[in-house]
Every structure is written in C-alpha cells, then in structure tokens.
Structure 1
Amino acid sequence: MGVLTRAKNRRLDLEERLADWISSLPDGVLGDIVSLLPTKDGARTQVLSSHSAGSSILASNISHILSAHPGPCHRFVMPRRYVEYPSRRTLDGWLRSPLLDNLQELDFNNSLLLPSVHRLSSTLCVARFGACRFADGNDASPLQLPLLKQLTLFAVEISESSLHALLAGCPVLESLLLLHNSGFRRLQIVSSSLRSVGVDSGGLCGIRLQQLDIDNAPCLERLLYFGRTEMNISVISAPRLAILGKLFDGFPRLQFGATVFQGATIVSMSVVVSSVKVLAIYDVNLCLDALINLLKCFPHLQKLYIEIKRVWGKDWCTYRKLDIGLRKIVLRNYRGNK
C-alpha cells in the first residue's frame, strides 16, 4: 500500500509540474497543441481551459484552431476576454465552421446573439448564453432547440415574449438557470420535462424578474432562488418538488395555493407542502418556535439547511432533541461556522 501511495504521489507531482509548464506557454503555442488533440481530449485538458478562462486571448488563435482541427467538435466555449475583440464577421465565421456541424455544447459570449447560432440548434444539448442581447420583434425568429436539456442565461437582455418563445422551442429541457438577466418582469413555467429551475431577481438595472409562476411542471424536483431582493414565486402545480431554497429573511414571497411564506416566515397556512424533502433557509433571525411552525408546513422534510444571523430563545439548544422526523440538520451561524 505504501509503495502504491508513493508512486501515486510522484505521478500527481509530475502532472502538476507539467500542468504548470503547459499553462505558462504563449496562447499561440497552446492553440497549436489543442488543434492537434482529439476533441474529447482537448475538452478534458483542464490546464488549457483554465488558462484560456483566466487570460486574454487572440481571436486569430481561435480561428486557427477551428480551421486546423480535424474534428468533430462536440463542445465550443467562446472566450470572455480577448486581446482585441473580434469583429462580427470573425465571430460569425467561428459559428459557421464545419467543425461545429454536430455541436452538442455551446457557451456563447457576445453582445448580440448572431443569426448563425440557429444553424447549430438542431444538435445542441447544452447551451449557455452570456452577456448578450436577444433581438426582439417580427424580424427575430426564436431558437428552436429540440434536443436541448440544459439552458443557462447569464447577464442576458431578453424580452418576456422572446424568453417564453425560447422556452417553448425547448420541448425536452430539463434544467433552466437564469442569473443577472434583464428585460422581463414575469416568467411562466409550463413544461412536462423541466426537473430543475434556478433564478435570481435579475440585474442591477433595467427591467428585472419580479414574478415567477410554476403553472404546470409535473417533473420539477428542484426550485432554487439565488436572489437577495424581493420577488414573488407562485407554485400552482409541481407535485414532485423535493428541493426548495434558499428562503431569506423576508423574501421571496412564496405561495403554494393558499399557503404563503414571506421568506422563511409563514404568512398563512392552509395546506402543507408534502413533496419537499430538502429545505434551505439563509440569513434569517430565527427562534425555535418559528422553526417548529415552519416545519409543520413541510411534514416530509428530511434535510434542513439553516444559516442564521441571530438565534432567539434560550431553548434553541434543545433543537437536536426535537422529534421532527428530520434525518439531518445543518446549522451555521452568519460567519459560516457549524
């Protein structure tokens, strides 16, 4: 066992030194290396991807890789930083490269969604659109993504009608993540395939998301809220919802039929939420009685994650003795200590 451990350590040390050496190479040399690798090996080379993510890149290197690589390519990540920002023609040329004919994963970062993205829509399974604007109006045709399972919109400007049209064009979508976006106030979820939805209340300026309605999501299992501002969430039909959070101190306003929460505080309780098994609450002032009342709304809860600003009541230390049916309670104070 000791011999095997030493051999493994030597191998890991050699890999780390090799990674450091490769990551110090100029971008042009890295581009030549990637162009000679099989696509799956190039995608797995973390030292190359981390180097590209952390430094500015020459657009000519990307063009060289796309023209020299034998293909096929299954994943294409557009850099976020360039030595000199590429022209619209260059960006369009990348997306029209024959190397991307059967592309499955796209990470698109540009100021405006290019029409050439549409040619990739029939094969994409995973897509992330960042820091770009979706054109609106009669001249803008929505993306039709029949195979897409994961969609992320990050710092995107998109109208409410365009967003709903985009989602309607994703009939097998399973995961939707919306962060720091603008241009829409309301999102209505009607999907027979979605299993996970994560949202925040949008960017710091412009029109922000204020209302999320889960009208009909029979397969939804995770509903995740990452915002720190007010938002209304209404869950009308999500019978398999098992993971819910984070509920903050005062927001979001969360409604399950006639049962209403204002953050982690119960406003009214008419029916219990029996499907939820994992609940996360964060940044709250909490007393033991309030916790017990909250747990009454989730009778089948198995795991509870709590991060608190302040605990009220001398009897809080007895929470571990409560017979509340939980398999696990994780309690952290405001500084992150258990």
Structure 2
Amino acid sequence: MGMVTRAKRRRQEEEEHLADRISSLPDGVLGDIVSLLPTKDAARTQVLSSRWRHIWRSAPLNLDFHDDHVGILASDISSILTAHRGPGRRFVMPRRYRGMEYPTSTTRDGWLRSPSLDNLQELEFSGNSLLLPSVHRFSPTLCIARFSDCSFLAGGNDAGPLHWLLLKQLILFNVTIPESSLHAWLAGCPVLESLLLLHNRYLSRLQIVSRSLRSIGVHSSSIQQLVIEDAPCLERLLHFGGTQMNITVMSAPRLATLGKLFDGFSMLQFGATVFQGAVVSSVKVLALYDVKLCLDAVINLLQCFPHLQKLYINLSLRTRG
C-alpha cells in the first residue's frame, strides 16, 4: 500500500513538473515575461514560489499605473523604486494619487533619479509643472517619450536642449513649448521616426527638417503654419482637426499618406505650387473630411494625385442656389 502511495505521489510530482514548464525557463526569459505584465501583477509573481521570488526584483522594471482608476500612494511608488534593483524599462508617471498625497516636484525628481530607472527605454511624463531636469539623464537610452500637461518654457528647470540619440517616438500633449525649443529638440533626435503634436501651445509656426521622420501627426489647435522643409523619409502626414492651418511641403519625396484635409485649410502647397494645381506623384492614400466639392472639383483634385490608390472622403455636397 505504501509503495502504491509513493508511486502515485511520484507521478503527481512529475505531472506537476511537466505542467509548470514555464518555471524551468531561464531567469532572463522569465524576467522579460514579467516585465510585460501590469505592475501589480508583476509584483504578485513573487508569491508563486521560491523559484519566482527574485524574478520581479531583477527583471526590467515596467512601472505603469495608468489603468488604476483608484490611484496610488506616492509613498508606494517610492517603495517600489527602492526595492527594485532595476534596470528600468518603462515608467509612466501616475495621473491619479490616492487621498491628499500629491507628490512634490522634489519627490518626482527623486523618482526619475532612482537607480531602478537606469537605462530607461520608455517614459510618460505628466504634471502641471516645468519639465524636471532629471529627464535629461535618459538621453542615452530613451526610445519612446510622451509628455503631457507640462511646460518647456525657457528659463525653467529644463534649461538646455534635449539630445536623445535613440529616441524614435515623441508625443507632446497639452504642453507649453516655444517653437525654438521644439526645433532644437528635433535637431537633437537624429533617429526620430514618429512625431505627434496634440493641443499644444506656443507653436504658431512649425518647421520640419529631419532626415529620419517617417510619420507626423498634428492637431492644429495653435499651429497656423506647418512647413515640411526637408524630410526625405516622411511617409505619413496626418491632421486631426483644429484651427485653420497652412501646410507647405517643400521636400518629402516619399510622402504616401496625406489627410485628413478639410475646408479649414487656408492653403496646401507643394514646393512653390499651390495644392490645387500641383501634381503629387508620391501620395497613394488621401483622406478628405467635411469638404464642399462639386464633381468638377473632385476630378481636378484627383488629377493632382495620379498614383492615388485609396481615397477616404467625407463629402458635403454643394447645393445650387
């Protein structure tokens, strides 16, 4: 009877071992898996077994409480950064904090200086304040950056241009930034591929000179003029509405997707030729929204894009008086 029991127990152990194949993976692979989990779920893996206890503390840190509608205590973030050995992979500055405990600029600056965020690759920074100077330390490693509800005004704690050698994606949402600061920033991002500007201030005229940009998205809440002076790799130029805006494309030989365009545009110009008479051979996808065009105008428009493959149009038919 004892032999049967021992044999049965041995089979159960073997079955459990086979069922838990994930625990037999190398620490590096387990760390990559844990770093992809939401922060709370990643931290909970420590209680699975002794095999998992050290994984989260040594895995690349993914600190993101964006979906936490209740909020988090600022002291909890400080505790996580103290306990985790790093390196950092992604840090999303929380927008909600529990109770009355809203972190000071000094506290948030300390978070960004934590060794747990060394080699950070993705950063989402938000807060009603000037950009913190500690952001500059991520210039050698940062690949994706999103800034919202903050200020880049000259003379603040953010003095000096940002030079991010590996940055590929930049999003600015509801920020205050002078044109000169943004132009200097773009000049310091030699491999930037995607630029998204939404509801920003102090950007009445934007001039793009970039050898690497492939996609630009703009909401013209304040931008009155957009000039694509030299963008040899640009493939997509997207407009998401807003106020009237003039667009001039001087050099973008690979531009393939353009839109959405609507009657709010004062002028769309390619080179020295106004859009209505220009021939743009590179554009293959065009989106028009809420435009008032008669049939003749549509035909003339299509003649400007001889290689057009897809046309998305929301058309307001012109009524005859």
Distance 1:100 1:32 in 2: 16
Preserved contact between residue 245 and residue 264 of structure 2 (Cα < 8 Å)? no
Amino acid at match of 2:311: L
**Are 2:102 and 1:91 aligned?**
no
Equivalent residue runs for 1:1-20 within 5 Å: none
Match of 1:104 among 88, 103, 121: 121
Preserved contact between residue 218 and residue 240 of structure 1 (Cα < 8 Å)? yes
Match of 2:293 among 282, 286, 293: 286
Match of 2:265, SS state, is: strand
Amino acid at match of 1:196: S
Equivalent residue runs for 1:217-296 within 5 Å: 217-251=231-265, 253-261=267-275, 266=276, 269=277, 271-296=278-303
Q: Which structure has the bigger radius of gyration?
A: 2
Distance 1:118 1:126 in 2: 14
**How many Å apart are 1:70 and its aligned residue?**
3.3
Cα distance change, pair 65–260 in 1 and its aligned pair in 2 (3 A): same
Could you tell me which residue of structure 2 aligns to residue 33 of structure 1? 44
**How many Å apart are 1:66 and its aligned residue?**
1.4
Which has the larger displacement, 113-122 or 75-84?
Answer: 75-84
Match of 2:220, SS state, is: coil
Preserved contact between residue 60 and residue 88 of structure 2 (Cα < 8 Å)? no
Cα distance change, pair 60–30 in 1 and its aligned pair in 2 (3 A): farther
Could you tell me which residue of structure 2 aligns to residue 167 of structure 1? 186
Amino acid at match of 1:102: N
Equivalent residue runs for 1:1-338 within 5 Å: 33=44, 38=56, 43=62, 49=65, 51-52=67-68, 54-83=69-98, 84-110=101-127, 111-137=129-155, 140-202=159-221, 208-251=222-265, 253-261=267-275, 266=276, 269=277, 271-310=278-317
Q: Deviations over 1:81-104 (max 9, x none)?
A: 223321111101110010111001
**How many Å apart are 1:78 and its aligned residue?**
0.5
Q: Deviations over 1:42-96 (max 9, x none)?
A: 749xxx75532x3332211211221122322211111112233211111011100
Preserved contact between residue 31 and residue 64 of structure 1 (Cα < 8 Å)? no
Amino acid at match of 1:51: D
Amino acid at match of 2:313: I
Q: TM-score, normalised by structure 2?
A: 0.77
Which has the larger displacement, 150-159 or 247-256?
Answer: 247-256
Could you tell me which residue of structure 1 aligns to residue 32 of structure 2? none
